[in-house]
Amino acid sequence: MRPRRCLGPAPRELAADRRAHCRERFPSETSAKDVSQEHHQEVQRDRREIRRRAEDVSFVAQKEDSSRAIIRHSYFNIHGPRRSIERESSMKNAIAMFNAMANDTEGKLKINPYSENYEQPKWDKAASNYARPPPGSKTEKRGIRAGDYVTREILFLMEVINENANGEHPNRCVKFGPLFYTYAHYSDKLVGMLLRARKYGLVAFDGEMLYQRQDDHKDILMLKTLDEIKQTMRYTGDPVNCITFV
């Protein structure tokens, strides 16, 4: 192992050894003071060399760090911090979706009569959406299917009335009692279909309601011929007013 060079004042033993070494190495005319000065200058040169090399290494390291910083800055300016942007975008999307779900749930609770947040709506009978389900809801789809079913049932009822009626138009009619027993083979909704048929101007009868046995003698009058009904009656797709005539 190389002995460490002592830069400070040496002990007496080391100083004596150094003087003896100098006497052996240099001629007698060279003084110990000159040797010490030369040694000191050599040490100073070594120190300067070490300092210069350290400064060179530090400069190179700083230059490399600066180059890396410039490259990184240029990349972010061109491409942007991709990961951070993607993460921020995904978080914004998640927050927006959560807020939308919360607002939708709050709106449903306000119209739910069994909820604590229920708010009694004020209906406007003149509004276009009065007595109608929300657009695009399952209730609206069920209503459309029900309207199509009612249209077909009314047409079938008019066919049954036409087959069992007596007389000619505009006085072609049938008694409620025989019609009830005949229609009972097909359906138990005769009175409801008769009320709907009267609503659309297809039949006429006395009273607001028809009851079995009590109203068996009442006449059910056809206001339109069966051919006219088949040609002009159309389903509108509206659950409220499912039938129209063209």
Say which DSSP state 134 is in.
P
Above 80 in pLDDT, residue 92?
yes
Give the pLDDT score at 16: 61
Beta strands in the chain (DSSP E): 173-175, 203-204, 219-222, 233-235, 243-245
More confident residue, 50 or 114: 114
pTM across the whole model: 0.52
Rounded distance between C-alpha atoms, residue 109 and residue 131, angstroms = 19
Confidence of residue 78 (pLDDT cuts 50, 70, 90): very low
Q: Residue 180's closest CA among 171, 193, 168?
A: 193
Indicate the average pLDDT of the chain: 79
Q: Are 118 and 112 in contact (CB under 8 A)?
A: yes
Give the pLDDT score at 75: 46
More confident residue, 125 or 138: 138
Within a 13 Å sphere around the CA of 196, how many CA atoms are in the beta-carbon half?
Answer: 22
Give the pLDDT score at 224: 92
Apex 214 CA angle, 171 and 177, nearest 5: 50
Q: Does 1.10.10.1540 match the CATH number of domain 139-245? A: yes
Lowest-confidence pick of 114-118, 140-144, 185-189: 114-118
Give residue-wise pLDDT tens across range 96-137.
Answer: 899 999 999 988 888 888 888 888 878 888 888 887 888 888
CA 167 from centre of chain = 64
Above 70 in pLDDT, residue 6?
no
Which residues does 56 contact at the CB level (< 8 Å), separation at least 6? none
Rounded distance between C-alpha atoms, residue 216 and residue 210, angstroms = 8
Domain-by-domain residue ranges, the chain? 13-77, 81-120, 139-245
Confidence of residue 64 (pLDDT cuts 50, 70, 90): low
